[in-house]
Structure 1
Amino acid sequence: MIVALWSGPRNLSTALMYFFAHRGDFQVSDEPFFGAFLKQYPVYRPSRELVLQNMELEPLKVLESLQAKAENGPLFLKNMANHISLVPKDAALEWKAVLLFRHPAAVIASYRKNMAEISLFDLAYREQWQWLQELQKAGKSYYLLDSDALAQNPELELRKLCEHLEIPFSKSMLQWPAGPIKEDGLWAQFWYQRVHQSTGFEAQQKLDLPAISGEDLELYQECLAYYELLKNAAHEQIQSPRPA
């Protein structure tokens, strides 16, 4: 079984990867197509040169490696949704899809700490919506997970996710040792400080949305339109088919 997370940046995607890594019954892979993505797109990332020098850059070779890995047991893939163009559609449609999304005000404020320039493509809302439509058109099962809901009530949201995937859940899975894991991507030094300090999912009582500055207002409005489509789809997902 391959569970494929399709997220945007700064969405608790790394914490979710840690949840699967520390379960004991899943292997995990951290953005396996990132090298191929950076080869294809001339976008800035703090880890760009490091990744291009050290990761596999050919998508089909990445796919072959993941398929071989999945023969050894269940595999969780943490992907950014804007990497989807690097993955053969027939393969990606066979993976159990989870789409993780967060309110764009919080995403933009967090992402801008490391990125001077931000685009709609960087934040991947559009690509999440497009992939959701592909899954629906193909009649495939999927799960939409609201990052803000996950932050406020991790036990409830992770129980529901595990139920959808038909995998076990226990409260002990919400905790893990502080520090990195061997599967961390090469970009961990730029982005993973908080998750390395964490010891698991802990409920956040209040989520305050930051104000959006004038320079980000147009981007925010673009992202918000897709966010609301994803949010509405999440309310309706109870009607989607269960995984085979």
Structure 2
Amino acid sequence: MNRMIALWAHPRSRSTVLERVFIERGDFEVFHEPFSHMAFDEQSAIPHGDLNGGMPRDYEAIKALLRNARQRAHVFHKDMAYHCIAPLKADAEFLEEQQNVFIIRDPARAILSHHAIFPQMPAHAIGHQALYEIFREVRRLTGKTPYVINAEDLASRPEHTLRRLCDHLQLDFMPGALSWNATCPEQWKAWRTWHKEAENSTTIMPGSADFDECSLHANPHLMTYYQLHRPFYERMNQFTEQGQP
């Protein structure tokens, strides 16, 4: 049977550039945030492109789309856990039929990056809490700790991080998938505003070493978001390979 891999993320977690590696591999049919189509439509305030691209709009139909694709090819889908948190938490069958990978990023960096694109973002859209809830549910269902990637590891040690992920997923590591031509994959067009950096990239780039949190601490609204989501990040971060050789 063909495989299905789910990359569960929160916004601004470097998940899109990791998805790009799977697009470049060429051995998976890749879906970019399919569950976002149940969370948003053309009238939503969030910045978006054309959301009338023929994608289904409800949870069961999106799940059926992924399962149907699996009949013809291996499937990789990346999504934000908060897009579908309630039905996903209640759907043990769907969670257990795929390999679930999680990616996290320090909420200070993620929040400021998110705010730069969508200043009206609601608290739940920071996404760490929903991500942790799905992580915990997968752990409960499988009896095993799901695989967690820290975005800073991906940025600073991309080959190492991808090799370890491929070992975990029992995939061949493809060095050529870590470089590409700067372009916008078809899958990204509905959310192109969010992925300009990834679109203009040709590989996984290291993060800025001179990150300044001052603008976060100066904004009480953003600090409230940070204080809400930081504990969930810390709980998941203890399960990453951060610091390992």
Contact 2:126 2:225 in 1 (8 A): no
Q: Equivalent residue of 1:44, what SS?
A: coil
Contact 1:126 1:226 in 2 (8 A): yes
Matched, 1:145 2:141: no
Q: Name which of 192, 195, 198 aligns with 2:198.
A: 195
CA RMSD of aligned residues (A): 2.3
Q: CA deviation at 1:169?
A: 0.7
> TM-score when scaled to structure 1?
0.87
Contact 1:82 1:122 in 2 (8 A): yes
Q: Hey, what does 2:226 align to over in structure 1?
A: 220
Q: Hey, what does 1:22 align to over in structure 2?
A: 24
Q: CA deviation at 1:201?
A: 1.6
Task: State how 1:1-244 maps to structure 2 within 5 Å.
Answer: 1-38=3-40, 44-47=45-48, 50-51=50-51, 54-83=54-83, 84-87=85-88, 88-139=91-142, 141=144, 142-188=146-192, 190-204=193-207, 206=209, 208-211=211-214, 212=216, 213-215=218-220, 216-234=222-240
Contact 1:104 1:227 in 2 (8 A): yes
Label 1:173 to 1:209 Cα distance change in 2 as closer, same or farther (>3 A): farther
Aligned equivalents of 2:212, 2:76: Cα separation in 1: 30
Q: CA deviation at 1:223?
A: 1.3
> TM-score when scaled to structure 2?
0.87
State the Cα deviation string for residues 109-166 of structure 1 (Å, max 9, x = none).
Answer: 1111121223331011111111111111112552100001111111111111111000
**Which structure 2 residue ranges, 5 or more long, are not aligned?**
none
Whichever residue aligns with residue 146 of structure 1, its letter is N
Label 1:153 to 1:235 Cα distance change in 2 as closer, same or farther (>3 A): closer
Label 1:178 to 1:147 Cα distance change in 2 as closer, same or farther (>3 A): same
- Using the aligned pairs only, state the percent identity: 24
**Which structure 1 residue ranges, 5 or more long, are not aligned?**
239-244
Whichever residue aligns with residue 191 of structure 1, its letter is W
